[in-house]
Amino acid sequence: MTVDEAIKSLEARVAYGKKNYPGYPTHDIQLGIEALKAVKEARLGILDLMPSALPGEAKE
């Protein structure tokens, strides 16, 4: 699973929980989404500075 897929999966879980279960605790999931977005940005920054640092990955 890629970082983008994980973010989409968690966002879908939050949307489903809010729609179907009033009071569904989404705060922790939101924190996970923000952490994954930070990881994605960091990886893109690494690829900008040193493309060979993450072999096999292309910049999105």
pLDDT of 16 above 60:
yes
pLDDT of 55 above 90:
no
For residues 58 and 52, give the distance between their C-alpha atoms in angstroms, rounded to a whole number. 10
The three-point CA angle 30-22-1 to 5° equals 35
Q: Give the 3-state secondary structure of residue 52.
A: helix
For residues 39 and 2, give the distance between their C-alpha atoms in angstroms, rounded to a whole number. 11
The residue written with tokens 């699973």 in the block is: 1
The residue written with tokens 């569904």 in the block is: 24
pTM of the model: 0.67
Average pLDDT of span 12-17: 90
Is residue 28 within a helix (H) or strand (E), and if so which, with residue range?
Answer: helix 27-49
